[in-house]
Structure 1
Amino acid sequence: MTVRRVPVVLMRGGARRAAFFHAHDLPNAPRARDAVLVRAMGGSDAAGERIDGLGPGQDGVARMVVVSRSQRPGCDIDFMCGTLAAGAATIDWGGPCGALAAAVGPFAIAERLFAGAEGPTRVRLQHVPDGTRIDAYVPVSAGEVSEQGTFVEDGVPFASAEVRLEWIEPSDAPFPTGRPRDVLELPDGLAIESTLVAVDEPMAFVRADALGLSGRESAADIDRNRRLLERVEALRLQAAVRMGLADSAQAALRVRAPMPALCWIARPAAYRGTAGAEVAAESVDLLARCVIGGRLQVAPGGAGSLALAVAAAVPGTVVAEVARTLPGVPTRIGHPSGSRAAGAEVSSRIGADGRPRWRVERCLLSHGARRLLTGEVHVPEGG
């Protein structure tokens, strides 16, 4: 049996991990490239464990990032973020995961795809599938990425250096339905008001009290509540259809699982984080609990944080209804592990039909990032 040895770097970006690859180490043809990556991650394992590969993250989703020098004007690095859901055989090259985008600049500098300057180095990134432009400001010392620092983010036990991200005009249509508020319906007929947002990755937001929740739930509360997870999944599938991600709920299971993520939000309240620390109501602007693949996330990813910040800045959304965000000030999001701040600048104009048209001018978010492992993954040829 022939084995392909592919260089790989396992990296953390925010509270996410992914396998990073050079584009030049993979086949040029998309189908052949994806076949190598799927097998490297462990194939289409129905159980979701992918024991014969690099395996999934804590949410059951395997993640990979492909990076190359950019030939595009005004860009330094091209990248693609891919996800492989449990049981899936195809990679979803959707939006750029905000957390993992923080690791692209450090990877590019460490792998000599881009020369770092002393101090914060600006690396102009472009996510190839959708053209999203992100400027990453990577700390550099003596030509090398500075990975140690004092930046702390919830869901990560150790401090690191801060990578600041700035999304450049990330969306001129943040609401796929054209509305800041939509109504979803549960199988029992209960109508749930929601806000559907697509800025980085698709997200669906509902009020916690509409589901009989408080917004202070822990993973233990959710994991054993099968009825709630079934209701959340029903809302997620309906949101996927509304957002144009699939033609039907069944198609949503096959094509875009587990997107969109579903998140319930609530007004600020005190709670105890997963590490045992108390989070004061005064330290956050809203509470958020996000479910991906049937699991409560320890913290919303970069995409979820950006979508929350955008929705909080637009009057009439279910998020703005409960958030106490001030104009021009980042939204402090209370999540299971603690809190995180994300900012968004949003403008509007009146369309020909008299309704406002919203445009996201800029989003701001910071994450830590570092290399965890450098080596080769052995990929059997032909499966």
Structure 2
Amino acid sequence: MRKIIRQVKAAWMRGGTSKCWVFERQDLRIPGYSEDDILLRLFGSPDPRQIDGVGGGSSTTSKAVILEQSSVAGIDVDYTFAQVGIEQAVVDWGSNCGNCSAVIAPYALKQGWVAAVNGEVNVRIRNTNTGQILVERMSLDPSHQQILIPGVPFPGQEVEIGFVDPAGATTGLLFPTGKQQNVLSVAVTTDGPEQQVPATLIDAGAPMVIISADSAGLDDVPFTQWATQSLNETDRLEAIRRAGAVAMGMAPDPASAQRAIPKLAIISASTESDFSVMMLSMGKPHPALAITGSIGLTVASHHEATIVSETAALPIGEVLKMQTPAGILETRYRQLDGELVVGTTRTARELAEAQLSFDPILPDDSAAEATLATLDFDAEEDLLPDPAPHKRKTVFASVGLFTALGLGATILGGGLLNPPATTTDGDYKGETLEIIIPLAEGGGTDTWARFVGQELTHQIPGVPGFAPTNEAGGEGITGSNHFASSAKKDGTELLVSTATTVVPWVLDRDVVRYSFENLEPVLVNGTGGVIYARSAAGVEGIDDLINRDKPLVFGGISATGLDLTTLVAFDLLDADISATFGFEGRGPVNLALQRGEVDIDYTTTSSYHSAVEPIAKEGKAEVLMSFGQLDAEGKIVRDPNFPDVPTVAEVYEKLHGEAPSGPKFNAYRTLLGLTYTYQKGLWAPKDAPQEAIDLLRESAEHLSENKEFNSKADKVLGGYPIVADEQLSKKVQEAYTVTDETRSYVEALLKDSYGIEIN
């Protein structure tokens, strides 16, 4: 059997705060395949990372713009927008994207579809999804070609975008219910009570449900924390959005509501703009603001009794300023040639021109042969021999296969993609081990997880496939919460933990939905670190930490992250320390210390030799203590990487003449275990089959004893061993037992010393 290889011409462009693949309609016509099939395969969906396609793994980077010259009088370009599903094999054609529309004017000019007149390009566009007419203006004056907008760190071509008479493009009415404000009856759970939620339901730019911060449960939360705190309200916010879809006549019931529309916007009063707004896109906080959403908000602000007009600073003029997570966005509301035009300014930039390979995966069966036989080949060169059959069960996650079999996306709910688990027979053959990494790609945790996960699969009988999946957001909380609620229970899906996700659990933050008490450790691995100070600040040794005339300034990233262990150490020692937070990493803190802006810092083992050792040798810094490590009995011992450096516990004894004890010391020892000795780990759901957990642990123990692995692992693991012995569960259970006394002490320390209240 042979398969088709088709080359699809595309341009990769940034439009506003989105990245979009731009296609011409004719290039997406491949016999035997729908545009859904083609886009899903090109983008690499369904797959959270879209690793085998050009999608970017997020709602703002999994977008397609399909263009062609229009045959409609008075229209230059027909524009179709497609939101390509990421984890689901679904393409949503029901909405427009204002950010992506910014690419149309520069693309049309480059293709010769429109011409510049007096140094200015004007394009009239019809969005085929909604029927909305857009007008775009682009000046070729060099002073207008490179400007910055909020949410994009680099400049681009300025494009003015206007939505012409934007009311009712999808539903036919500006206010589909006939009212400026409705009260939605929202049932979050099937058996729970209904909640009454005031909302403005508007269709302008795109259908949208607008609610207040109070209705969203965010009224007492600073705007900068909305994205994280909204994780508490995810289910309720989605229920509100779906209830709005039903009220707007867009769905017969909540379950039938589309994923992309209506959009949901949350607003509150602001002292920096007319109001603050955060929008949810595909269920997650939008990093800036959808332009179609800004259009609806702008129109709503000019109508009495809407949630927006009741919240916004009055009076509302032609220019509206909205505070978004990325900065202030301005829109304009004005009459142009007798038409209402609502718009804003975006930028666009072409990133690349490409020939994308449409390479459908077809099974070697008669149904596929029959489908293949009907296709129209241009040349024999289009046909290539099939590769050797893939041995993993996940091979059939191909949309090309779905089309060939005539099953479509409904197959996702059946058994083909979820074959019976075989992890209980002592062999993972045919399985794929998925490692959920709740932080972004490229960081230390991501590097660790990919290295350890890949090596672990080689030790597991049957040698399963390996699929690392990043699910970043909310400082690691989003992915961890998702794992807790939906992880597979067969031992094929593991969660990565690190200090970033452990500390919020220790603090019992209300956005945390996961608990390490409900997880089983497969392996753990630690790190270490030292505390050092600037010599020029008058620090020659540990005695200079106390009874100071002026406190030493500690440079921190976040008091509720890994910094917390250091803060507890300072409190335990009674060190005279003040703190400033907000640095973007330990590297910037180290540079600030060398410049004299801060006085004391810490570093982990991995960066010690490059960041601290050189300035210590030059006499610019003094290494004061190491955090230490917990031994098998839970006692604090010296770090093997710093055998000549006293631990925090030893320093306490030297300063105060007795061994440390009491609530402060107990809290320090607990955090030491959680954030250093057992800092990183792989975890399975507690109700995974015991046979699977035992097999994974045995494989991890074999890995820890493998000389070849340990020689390769030195740089990544920093000399700290993989722990996966028979006592692993007991050790971790003891380390991860956080008493009420410790939690209370830590909360009081953060509140009293640093003004931080945990919620």
TM-score (norm 2): 0.43
Number of residues of Structure 1 aligned to a counterpart in Structure 2: 347
Deviation of residue 62 (structure 1)?
1.9
CA contact 1:10–1:17 (8 Å) conserved in 2: yes
Give the match for residue 242 of structure 2. Answer: 237
Q: Deviations over 1:222-250 (max 9, x none)?
A: 34654311211111111121122221121
Alpha-carbon distance change, 344 to 225 in structure 1, aligned in 2, over 3 angstroms: closer
Deviation of residue 112 (structure 1)?
2.6
In 2, the alpha carbon distance for the partners of 1:343 and 1:160 equals 20
1:296 paired with 2:285, answer yes
CA contact 2:177–2:201 (8 Å) conserved in 1: yes
Give the match for residue 126 of structure 2. Answer: 126
Alpha-carbon distance change, 51 to 245 in structure 1, aligned in 2, over 3 angstroms: farther
Residue 202 of structure 1 aligns with an amino acid whose one-letter code is P
In 2, the alpha carbon distance for the partners of 1:124 and 1:245 equals 28
Alignment of 1:304-315 (within 5 A): 304-315=293-304
SS of the residue corresponding to residue 297 of structure 2 reads helix
In 2, the alpha carbon distance for the partners of 1:369 and 1:147 equals 15
The match for 1:323 among 295, 312, 321 is: 312
TM-score (norm 1): 0.83
In 1, the alpha carbon distance for the partners of 2:198 and 2:130 equals 29
In 2, the alpha carbon distance for the partners of 1:66 and 1:147 equals 30
Q: Deviations over 1:46-73 (max 9, x none)?
A: x432221111453376210111111110
286-295 or 113-122, larger mean C-alpha shift: 113-122
Alpha-carbon distance change, 32 to 183 in structure 1, aligned in 2, over 3 angstroms: same
Alpha-carbon distance change, 101 to 217 in structure 1, aligned in 2, over 3 angstroms: same
Deviation of residue 325 (structure 1)?
4.8
In 1, the alpha carbon distance for the partners of 2:125 and 2:320 equals 24
In 2, the alpha carbon distance for the partners of 1:13 and 1:30 equals 31
Alignment of 1:212-291 (within 5 A): 212-214=217-219, 216-218=222-224, 221-223=226-228, 225-252=230-257, 256-269=258-271, 281=272, 284-291=273-280
In 2, the alpha carbon distance for the partners of 1:68 and 1:325 equals 42
Give the match for residue 210 of structure 1. Answer: 215
SS of the residue corresponding to residue 126 of structure 1 reads strand
The match for 1:37 among 39, 42, 49 is: 39
Alignment of 1:132-211 (within 5 A): 132-140=132-140, 149-171=145-167, 173-187=173-187, 188-211=193-216
95-104 or 221-230, larger mean C-alpha shift: 221-230
Deviation of residue 10 (structure 1)?
0.9
Alpha-carbon distance change, 30 to 181 in structure 1, aligned in 2, over 3 angstroms: farther
Alpha-carbon distance change, 367 to 57 in structure 1, aligned in 2, over 3 angstroms: farther
Q: Deviations over 1:234-293 (max 9, x none)?
A: 1111112112222112112xxx10322211111113xxxxxxxxxxx2xx1001011122
CA contact 2:102–2:346 (8 Å) conserved in 1: yes
Q: Which has the larger radius of gyration?
A: 2
Larger helix proportion, structure 1 or 2? 2
CA contact 2:122–2:136 (8 Å) conserved in 1: yes
In 2, the alpha carbon distance for the partners of 1:232 and 1:251 equals 16
Residue 370 of structure 1 aligns with an amino acid whose one-letter code is R
In 2, the alpha carbon distance for the partners of 1:30 and 1:115 equals 36
Higher relative contact order (CA 8 A, sep 6+): 1
Q: Deviations over 1:351-383 (max 9, x none)?
A: xxxxxxxxx932121101111111111011452
Residue 82 of structure 2 aligns with an amino acid whose one-letter code is G
The match for 2:15 among 9, 13, 26 is: 13
Following TM superposition, the consecutive aligned residue runs of length 4 or more in structure 1 with deviations greater than 6 angstroms are 28-31
Residue 137 of structure 2 aligns with an amino acid whose one-letter code is Y
CA contact 1:8–1:374 (8 Å) conserved in 2: yes
Residue 344 of structure 1 aligns with an amino acid whose one-letter code is Y
In 2, the alpha carbon distance for the partners of 1:114 and 1:216 equals 46
In 2, the alpha carbon distance for the partners of 1:28 and 1:328 equals 49
Deviation of residue 321 (structure 1)?
0.2
Residue 163 of structure 2 aligns with an amino acid whose one-letter code is W
**Which structure 1 residue ranges, 5 or more long, are not aligned?**
270-280, 347-359
Residue 189 of structure 1 aligns with an amino acid whose one-letter code is E
Alpha-carbon distance change, 225 to 363 in structure 1, aligned in 2, over 3 angstroms: closer
1:337 paired with 2:337, answer no
The match for 2:342 among 363, 372, 381 is: 363
Deviation of residue 33 (structure 1)?
2.5
In 2, the alpha carbon distance for the partners of 1:327 and 1:21 equals 39
In 2, the alpha carbon distance for the partners of 1:162 and 1:54 equals 26
Alpha-carbon distance change, 290 to 249 in structure 1, aligned in 2, over 3 angstroms: same
Alpha-carbon distance change, 367 to 263 in structure 1, aligned in 2, over 3 angstroms: same
In 1, the alpha carbon distance for the partners of 2:139 and 2:88 equals 37
SS of the residue corresponding to residue 321 of structure 1 reads helix
Deviation of residue 91 (structure 1)?
2.1
Alpha-carbon distance change, 180 to 258 in structure 1, aligned in 2, over 3 angstroms: same
Alpha-carbon distance change, 94 to 118 in structure 1, aligned in 2, over 3 angstroms: farther
Alignment of 1:4-83 (within 5 A): 4-27=6-29, 32-43=34-45, 45=46, 47-56=47-56, 58-59=58-59, 62-83=62-83
Alpha-carbon distance change, 325 to 68 in structure 1, aligned in 2, over 3 angstroms: farther
Larger strand proportion, structure 1 or 2? 1
Percent same amino acid among aligned pairs? 26
SS of the residue corresponding to residue 228 of structure 1 reads helix
Q: CA RMSD in A?
A: 2.4
CA contact 1:78–1:127 (8 Å) conserved in 2: yes
SS of the residue corresponding to residue 103 of structure 2 reads helix
In 1, the alpha carbon distance for the partners of 2:164 and 2:32 equals 27
Give the match for residue 464 of structure 2. Answer: none
Q: Deviations over 1:331-353 (max 9, x none)?
A: 1000111110112359xxxxxxx
Residue 5 of structure 2 aligns with an amino acid whose one-letter code is V
Deviation of residue 197 (structure 1)?
1.4
Residue 34 of structure 1 aligns with an amino acid whose one-letter code is D
Q: Deviations over 1:162-183 (max 9, x none)?
A: 1011222222521122211111
Deviation of residue 327 (structure 1)?
4.7
Residue 75 of structure 2 aligns with an amino acid whose one-letter code is C
SS of the residue corresponding to residue 300 of structure 2 reads helix
**Which structure 2 residue ranges, 5 or more long, are not aligned?**
188-192, 363-399, 401-759
Residue 317 of structure 1 aligns with an amino acid whose one-letter code is T
In 2, the alpha carbon distance for the partners of 1:125 and 1:28 equals 26
Give the match for residue 91 of structure 2. Answer: 91
SS of the residue corresponding to residue 238 of structure 1 reads helix
Residue 291 of structure 2 aligns with an amino acid whose one-letter code is G
SS of the residue corresponding to residue 314 of structure 1 reads coil
In 2, the alpha carbon distance for the partners of 1:232 and 1:260 equals 12
In 2, the alpha carbon distance for the partners of 1:121 and 1:30 equals 38
Give the match for residue 380 of structure 1. Answer: 359
Q: Deviations over 1:62-106 (max 9, x none)?
A: 210111111110011111011123333332222321111111111
In 2, the alpha carbon distance for the partners of 1:57 and 1:168 equals 32
Residue 268 of structure 2 aligns with an amino acid whose one-letter code is A
In 1, the alpha carbon distance for the partners of 2:174 and 2:331 equals 16
In 2, the alpha carbon distance for the partners of 1:36 and 1:123 equals 28
Give the match for residue 274 of structure 1. Answer: none
